[in-house]
Amino acid sequence: MTDADEIRHWWRTSIIDMEPGKIAFRGHPVQDLIGTVSFPQMIWLMLRGDLPSREQAALFECALVAGVDHGPQAPSIAAARMAATCGVGLNNVMATGVNMLGDVHGGAGEQCAELYENIAARMEGGAGLDQAVRDGLDEWRAAYGKIVSGFGHRFHKPVDPRAPRLMALVREAAEAGTVSGRFASIGEAVQDELGRQRGGRPIAMNIDGATAVIFCELGFPPPLSRGLFCLSRSVGVLAHGWEQMQQGGRNKGPMPPKFLPEYEPKDVTS
Ligand SMILES: CC(C)(COP(=O)(O)OP(=O)(O)OC[C@H]1O[C@@H](n2cnc3c(N)ncnc32)[C@H](O)[C@@H]1OP(=O)(O)O)[C@@H](O)C(=O)NCCC(=O)NCCS
């Protein structure tokens, strides 16, 4: 390979064709996209290379809308607001919030989608829904532990109001033939099984579990459940960071300063 070829091949992309005077995303000139596609359609195009139907884009948008915010009690939002009082720019504020979205908060959709896909594969192999759910949960727990991502909520017990609405929209989309509806059935069956395993105490399907249903229905691979949730929650992170900047406040910690963390002296002599 010549040096010129090596340089050209260093970054290879099917996403954008850009040269002076030309910007085309996935083969579509940007000037054709502006004014004709929605932001959710644009996200889909960038990630997958094709444009979704209007119905697919509408369901996708529902998931993006549902996850935008959960208030300053959510660690991502609290962290972003604290960052906003520290003299950093809005980009740093947003990065601080998004960096908090991990396996237990906001990023849980990725592992949840893996579980749903595992159960779907078992059903394709001939297992019934209930058996596939039990076996899928056993395998998932052997890898990740007893707490199942996408279920349970600190505040919304036993129902997270976002989940039933999103599942109803998936059912509507399934009736219209936009999606199959099988991941909604899987998600609800996992929720039922977890309730049974907790001695009949129902457990919420949370926002990560519900949006993972939609992302699986639409054919996004599991890691994108996390990435897409980050896009959605970035809206709330930005809004809270901006609001905090308008309110002012300097160097705000996690609690009013009159409250101090408990000091736990440790005996280091023994
Ligand atoms: C969100 C979460 C931290 C809430 O935890 P919590 O407030 O302690 O949950 P609850 O008080 O409702 O329930 C406690 C009991 O249910 C169990 N439980 C809670 N969430 C569970 C889950 N997702 N899977 C299995 N069991 C769960 C706990 O182990 C505990 O059992 P025990 O009483 O036998 O000890 C927890 O459910 C969780 O980590 N969920 C998975 C991560 C996730 O999806 N995060 C995104 C949140 S939007």
Nearest CA to ligand 1 atom 26: 147
The yes-or-no verdict on residue 169 having pLDDT over 90 is yes
C-alpha 20 to ligand 1 mean position (Å): 53
Question: 208: Cβ below 6 Å to ligand 1?
Answer: yes
Q: Which CA distances in Å does 167 have to 98, 156, 176, 212, 223?
A: 26, 16, 14, 11, 21
- How many CB atoms lie under 10 A from the CB of residue 109? 36
Question: 160: Cβ below 6 Å to ligand 1?
Answer: no
pLDDT by residue (tens digit) across 4-46? 999 989 999 999 999 999 999 999 999 999 999 999 999 999 9
Say how far apart CA 160 and CA 209 lie, in whole Å: 10
pLDDT for 105 equals 87
Nearest CA to ligand 1 atom 37: 152
Question: 150: Cβ below 6 Å to ligand 1?
Answer: yes
Rounded to two decimals, what is the model's pTM? Answer: 0.94
Question: 8: Cβ below 6 Å to ligand 1?
Answer: no
pLDDT for 141 equals 96
| pLDDT class of 104 with cuts at 50, 70, 90 | confident
pLDDT for 270 equals 66
| 33-37, 48-52, 71-75: range with lowest mean pLDDT | 71-75
Nearest CA to ligand 1 atom 27: 147
Averaged pLDDT, 128-147: 96
Averaged pLDDT, 142-152: 95
Say how far apart CA 138 and CA 197 lie, in whole Å: 12
The yes-or-no verdict on residue 1 having pLDDT over 90 is no
Averaged pLDDT, 165-181: 98
pLDDT for 240 equals 98
Question: 156: Cβ below 6 Å to ligand 1?
Answer: no
pLDDT by residue (tens digit) across 247-266? 999 999 999 999 999 999 99
Ligand 1 probe mutation, 110, 151, 155, most atoms within 8 A of CB: 151
C-alpha 187 to ligand 1 mean position (Å): 16
pLDDT for 106 equals 83
pLDDT for 177 equals 98
Residues of the chain above pLDDT 90, percent:
95
The yes-or-no verdict on residue 48 having pLDDT over 90 is yes
| DSSP β-ladder status, 16-19 and 22-25 | antiparallel
The yes-or-no verdict on residue 234 having pLDDT over 80 is yes
Q: Residue 53 has which token pair?
A: 């139907």
Atom of ligand 1 lying closest to residue 150 CA: 44
Question: 152: Cβ below 6 Å to ligand 1?
Answer: yes
Say how far apart CA 156 and CA 49 lie, in whole Å: 37
Averaged pLDDT, 115-142: 97
Ligand 1 probe mutation, 101, 147, 156, 232, most atoms within 8 A of CB: 147
Q: Residue 148 has which token pair?
A: 């199942």
Nearest to 217 by CA among 246, 195, 188: 188
C-alpha 150 to ligand 1 mean position (Å): 9
Question: 151: Cβ below 6 Å to ligand 1?
Answer: yes
- Domain architecture of the chain: domains with CATH: 1-36 (no CATH), 108-225 (1.10.230.10)
Q: Residue 56 has which token pair?
A: 């697919």
- Mean pLDDT across the chain: 96
Q: Is 52 exposed, middle or buried (0-12, 13-18, 19+ CB in 10 A)?
A: buried
The yes-or-no verdict on residue 138 having pLDDT over 70 is yes
C-alpha 167 to ligand 1 mean position (Å): 21
